[in-house]
Amino acid sequence: MLPFLLLLPFFGAALLMLLPRERLSPLIPAQATVMVTLGCLALLGVATFLPPSLELQEITGERFHHFHADWMPSIGLTFSLWLDGPALFFCWMVLGIGLLIFVYAGFYMDPADSPWRFFGTMMLFMGSMLGVVMSRNALLMFVFWELTSLTSFILIGHWHHKESARKGAMRALVVTGLGGLCLMAGIAGYFWILSTASAPGYVFDPSTALNWDSLWANRELLLNHPASVACLMLVLLGAFTKSAQFPFHFWLPGAMEAPTPVSAFLHAATMVKAGIYLLGRLYPIYWSWELWLILVGSAGVITMLVGGFMAMTSRDLKQLLAHSTVSQLGLLTAYYGFGFDRAGGDKPLPMDLLLVLSHAMFKGALFMIVGVIDHGAHTREWTRLGGLRKYMPVTTVLTIVACASMAGFPLTFGFVAKELFLKTALSLHASSPLLAYGLPAVAIIASLFTVAYSLRMAVSPFFGKPRDPSIHEHDIYSIEERGDAEDDAHDGSDGAASHAHAAGVHEGGPGLLIPPGILVLACLVAGFWSPFLGDLLSPLVNAPFYGTESGFTVAFFHHADKLLWTAVFLFGVGVLVFLAGKRIMESYERAGSPAIFRHAYEAIFDRAIPSLAAWTARTSQTPSLRRSIAVFFAAAFGIVVAAMGYSGFGLPGAIAIPAGLWMATLPIALTLPCLWVAATHRVLLVRVLAMAPIGFFVAMFFVFFRAPDLALTQILVEVVILIVLLMVLFRLPQRFEPRQLRFDPTAGAIALVGALVMAALTYSAMGSPWRHAPTLEGQPSVRDYYLGNAKYPAMTSEEAAAIGYPGASNMRSGGGTNVVNVTLVDFRGIDTFGEIIVLGISAIGVLCLLTVNRRRRSDNWRGGALDDVGHVSDIVNPETHRQLEMPYRAWPSPSLLLSEIGRLAPGFVLIFAAVLFFAGHNAPGGGFIAGLMVSVGLAMVLIAVSWTRSRHLERFDFVRLIGVGLLVALLTVVVPELFGLPFLTSGHWHFHLPLLGGGEFATAAIFDLGVFLLVVGATMLVVQKLGKE
């Protein structure tokens, strides 16, 4: 039942979102919303009057409808719903007022004004609000709590073309969102306290820990924990922001940019009550703390005062109501604040259901009425209005009654509520007289304002003469007045109102008057029958939470002595304040409204944070490549150095260098000047050339370290990179500008640190004894395993069985003597597979770079390398070389010698590549080296003979070759799968041919072939595409 009740509005909203809105009448959303609300009410009615057949709640001792489903029990989030007293009450209130407002909204909203979105969101809001009050789990409540903030955001910004609406929505969202986060942190804090607490007999159960009843039951733990004050503060922040308590009250008036039904429903009747509701849930836990009184009570009364004053000084009736709402919310908050050490004994107050209900009724009604006034008179400023009673008689009556209730006039429901509050306030006892007398005093002063602005609301628009006669004419100044003349199609205060401009001042239709009328009537009825209402509501206040004798004993003039006089005083002085009101307002406006907190908000969120953000972005984010890299290095090396420092990373002692090795210092020593040239020379080409010997030296070191394959690869790669570089080089500026040559000491320092770090790591790792130690229990080290298994099978059948492939032992060995090659194609063949893919991608990438969307901007293109380099005076040293004064002109054709003899040489290269390819498994070489070799050979052909004599190379589709190579490699990887073996498993066979002798064939060679093809394809693709530029 409960989930259905809760989810029905969500389903409704989803339905509205999904229906084909183009084809349906724009009235459907409103109707659907009303239907859904009725459905919810029906379900709620069933739930209310059907006795809960479910088990007895152990803690509360009462029987509720409840529902439980695990969600994330480990973090305390469960889908626990209940309909205990307060929940039931709030559900009725939300749905009841919601129904009226939806009906009203159906008439109020312009059908052209996105009704689908509007009603869908309203329904979403209603569902969320139901969720807030029905949640038994505090975290679940938070979930819905945030949803209400969000729907409120969307609804406030419904007329999003208005800047003020956007701003108001944003402000509401930020403030409530911030509060929501605090609330979340507070709830998390509760969870933390409960999960770490220990008490005799206390067992922590994460799935129920955050239930309201369990929080209450474990209140001793919560109260005695050192962090409990912090948690309380956080949760209170959540409640205060939601309920617009001082100093967060400023968002609520801004939220009044929303359409009137929204203001009535969210920002008067229900959503802002969520904070009050939360206070009501917390109150039984904290009521005995004086801190609670100080925080909640003072926040409440200050809000009352501030809100009341602001309401007094508002011109706009809607603003007046908004501020009055702030004030009333302060009252509701203060009610809880006063719970400390009540005179009546150590009992907490009952929940403030009466106050909430009464406020919801009259404020909802008043907002709707303001909408009607706006609708009829096209303005909401009482300084312009006047004498409307002639045009809007019904509205006048309704307003007067509602305002009476708001002011707490006897016979209305508001009076009952006010009485309850004053009774509480006047019986406050606190340790400090400042609190004990100060808070009630402030509350009473604030109540004066209440009377005054109620009178303002009830009297000013309706009586007297129109203060601004122009409103009876058919103009639209109200639009201009609000400063959004930019859009008149949607403007006016409300959508529907804009259609009524032509009609002059007029009464609202029945659809607009009946819903507020019902509420106003209810105010009166409830006022008369308040004892009955008290009886009705009393059982809803959960007895165990609030003491056994809780409940409302409602009667008129309950405490006739003090209260009566107070009321008389209030009304007397209130009228005086009302009379002085306009003057107060004007002087206040002259003084300039301080609105400190709104300004503080703006200072923080509209100025400080954006400028902090801009500052962060400026400092942390640089478009400069150089600085990015420098910061990157600095951070990385800093962290590594810190790690070394922290861990006491030390170096092993120096190891003597054998005599013959001293010559290895030579390449190192020669690298330094190479680096110097590579880092300082003005000409790009010279720097490239200076890199070449370094490549040779690296190859030399590979030789020192007995790595023939590496030496081969290094040399070949070096050559190919040089060719590619040269092909690109002449499209770059040929020389560095002088300022680009300046030494950069910071970079030098960072590089020094980095190089030291890397060198230290290298040195220490070389001294590690673990590298070649046997791994695990008696297993050979990786190195020994590779060496031992490269040629001869070393795996016994037991070992093969142990790894899950029995019967495989006979096949297993690399089948080659070149262990590096066997490693590449067999032990770590997958690495090679990945590596050729990288190569293929790189070639394809070059292809894409050179062909896709190629737009060359001529002014950016700096060609002409020949002259640029040739005549550079610092290359051709003028002292030693002078221009040859010979008529020696450029040759148009390529060199004859090169093309004649240079084309012989590639044959050697290619045949040697074949040697390397076939020898690869047993000697240095292999597919990759052979592939590079072939590429070098082909490149040499191209260099020697130019494209004109190698058309087939020019046209050859190397992408396809890449594809073939990949395919071959992929097949060798995949085919073993067909035999039920892991991928890339290879086999090898000896064979013997007559006449030709024996040989050996390993399937790894096919893989190598794939590698070979891909390498040729990739390299040549790059060369081809660049060469054809």
Site for other proteins in 981-1020 (CB under 8 A): 981-986, 993, 995-997, 999, 1018-1019
What is the DSSP secondary structure assignment for residue 461, as one 8-state letter? T
> In the complex, what is the shortest distance from the CB of residue 258 to other proteins, in angstroms, rounded to a whole number?
13
Q: How far is CA 315 from the centre of its chain?
A: 40
Q: Please give the residues from 238 up to 257 whose contact with other proteins meets the rule CB under 8 A.
A: none
Q: How far is the CB of 416 from other proteins (least distance, A)?
A: 37
Shortest Cβ distance from residue 989 to other proteins (Å)?
A: 15
Find the angle CA(833)-CA(837)-CA(838) to the nearest 5 degrees: 115
Q: What is d(CA 306, CA 83) in angstroms, rounded to the nearest whole number?
A: 35
Touching other proteins, residues 912-971 (CB under 8 A): 912, 914-916, 918-919, 922-925, 928, 933, 936, 939-947, 949-950, 952, 959-960, 962-963, 966-967, 970
Binding track, positions 139-178, relative to other proteins; x by CB under 8 A: x--xxx-xx-xx--xx--x--xx----x---x--xx--xx
Closer of 343 and 656 to other proteins (Cβ): 656
What is the distance of C-alpha 911 from the center of its chain?
Answer: 61
Residue from 621, 801, 1002, 1005 binding other proteins (CB under 8 A): 621
Among 1, 722, 801, 975, binds other proteins (CB under 8 A): 722
CA distance 811 to 789: 11
- Measured from the CB of residue 164, what is the shortest distance to other proteins in angstroms? 12
Among 699, 1002, 1009, 1020, binds other proteins (CB under 8 A): 699
Among 24, 568, 603, 629, binds other proteins (CB under 8 A): 629
Shorter beta-carbon distance to other proteins: residue 599 or 828: 828
Question: Among residues 513 and 973, whose Cβ is nearest to other proteins?
Answer: 973
Minimum gap (Å) between residue 27 Cβ and other proteins = 18
Spatial CA neighbour of 836 closest among 1008, 713, 951, 673: 1008
Q: What is the Cα Rg of the chain in Å?
A: 43
Assess 708 for contact with other proteins (CB under 8 A).
Answer: yes
Q: Please provide the size of the chain in residues.
A: 1029
Element (H, E) at 780: none
Three-state DSSP class for 675?
helix
Q: Which of 628, 796, 797, 810 binds other proteins (CB under 8 A)?
A: 628
Binding residue for other proteins (CB under 8 A) from 256, 443, 541, 1022?
1022
Q: Is residue 586 close enough to count as binding other proteins by CB under 8 A?
A: no
Letter string b/e over residues 259-292, b meaning 16 or more CB atoms within 10 A of that residue's CB: bbbbbbbbbbbbbbbbbbbbbbbbbbbbbebeeb
By beta-carbon proximity to other proteins, the closer residue of 35 and 756 is: 756
Binding other proteins (rule: CB under 8 A), the pick from 35, 636, 796, 797 is: 636
Interface region with other proteins, contact rule CB under 8 A, candidates 328-336, 401-409, 546-554, 767-775? 767-775
Residues 6+ apart with CB under 8 A from 731: 861, 862, 863, 1029
Least spacing, CB of residue 546 vs other proteins, in Å: 29
One-letter amino acid at 9 equals: P
Given 430, 523, 570, 723, the residue binding other proteins (CB under 8 A): 723
> What six digits make up the tokens of 441?
């005093």
Least distance from other proteins to the Cβ atom of residue 216, Å: 20
Per-residue tokens: 629 = 């890299």
Find the shortest distance in angstroms from Cβ 47 to other proteins: 22
233 closest CA partner among 282, 270, 191: 282
Contact letters for other proteins, residues 72-111 (x by CB under 8 A): x-xxxx----------------------------------
Provide the pairing of β-strand 77-82 with 66-72: antiparallel
Q: Which of 56, 160, 57, 37 is nearest to 99 (CA)?
A: 37
Contacts with other proteins: how many residues (CB under 8 A)? 334
Cβ at position 1017, least distance to other proteins in Å: 10
Stretch that binds other proteins, among 98-106, 246-254, 357-365, 658-666 (CB under 8 A): 658-666
Query: Which residues neighbour 921 within 8 Å (Cβ) at sequence distance 6 or greater?
Result: 815, 816, 817, 818, 821, 822, 825, 1000, 1002, 1004, 1005, 1008
Closest CA to 336 of 324, 360, 353: 353
Say which residues have a Cβ less than 8 Å from residue 456's Cβ, sequence separation at least 6: 312, 320, 382, 578, 581
Which of 320, 824, 1002, 1009 binds other proteins (CB under 8 A)? It is 824
Determine which residue in the list 671, 682, 793, 988 makes contact with other proteins, applying CB under 8 A.
Answer: 671
Site for other proteins in 2-61 (CB under 8 A): 17, 21
Which x/- pattern, by CB under 8 A, does the window 787-816 give for other proteins? xxxxx---x---xx-xxxx--x---x----
Helix/strand/coil (H/E/C) assignment for every residue in 153-186: HHHHCCCCCCHHHHHHHHHHHHHHHHHHHHHHHH
- Kindly tell me which of 371 and 815 has the beta carbon lying closer to other proteins: 815
Q: Are 964 and 1012 in contact (CB under 8 A)?
A: no
Which residues, in sequence order, are bridge partners of residue 775? 779
Assess contact for 388 and 505: CB atoms under 8 A: yes
Taking the least distance from each CB to other proteins, the nearer of 592 and 648 is 648
Smaller CB distance to other proteins: residue 536 or 905?
905
**Per residue, what are the HEC states of 507-549?**
CCCHHHHHHHHHHHHHHHHHHHCHHHHHHHHHHHCCHHHHCCC
Smallest separation (angstroms) from other proteins to the CB of 379: 24
DSSP-assigned letters across all residues of 735-770? B--GGGG---HHHHHHHHHHHHHHHHHHHHHHT-TT
Least separation in angstroms between CB 690 and other proteins: 7
Q: Which residues between 860 and 889 bind other proteins (CB under 8 A)?
A: 860-866, 869-870, 875-877, 879-889
The smaller minimum CB distance to other proteins, of residues 139 and 369, is found at 139
* CB closer to other proteins out of 21 and 599: 21
Q: Is residue 841 a contact residue for other proteins (CB under 8 A)?
A: yes
Q: Which part of the chain contacts other proteins (CB under 8 A), choosing from 45-53, 406-414, 511-519, 702-710? A: 702-710
- Binding segment for other proteins (CB under 8 A), chosen from 284-292, 311-319, 590-598, 660-668, is 660-668
Of the candidate residues 761, 801, 975, 988, the single one contacting other proteins (CB under 8 A) = 761
Q: Please give the Cα distance from 252 to 257 (Å, whole number).
A: 10
The answer to whether 984 touches 809, Cβ cutoff 8 Å, is: no
**Position 733 contacts other proteins (CB under 8 A):** yes
Work out how close the CB of 464 gets to other proteins at its nearest, in angstroms, rounded to a whole number.
Answer: 40
Supply the minimum distance, in Å, between the C-beta of residue 348 and other proteins.
28
Binding segment (CB under 8 A) for other proteins, from list 378-386, 438-446, 562-570, 708-716? 708-716
CA–CA distance, 428 with 343 (Å, rounded to integer)? 7
Can residue 233 be called a binding residue for other proteins (CB under 8 A)? no
Contact residue for other proteins among 639, 796, 797, 989 (CB under 8 A): 639
Distance CA 784, CA 1015 (A): 30
Pair 75, 132: CB distance under 8 Å = no
Q: For the segment 178-197, give every residue that binds other proteins (CB under 8 A).
A: 178, 181-182, 184-185, 188-189, 191-192, 195-196
202 touching other proteins, by CB under 8 A: no
Q: Does 564 bind other proteins (CB under 8 A)?
A: no
- Which residue in 438, 380, 408 sits closest to 557, CA to CA? 408
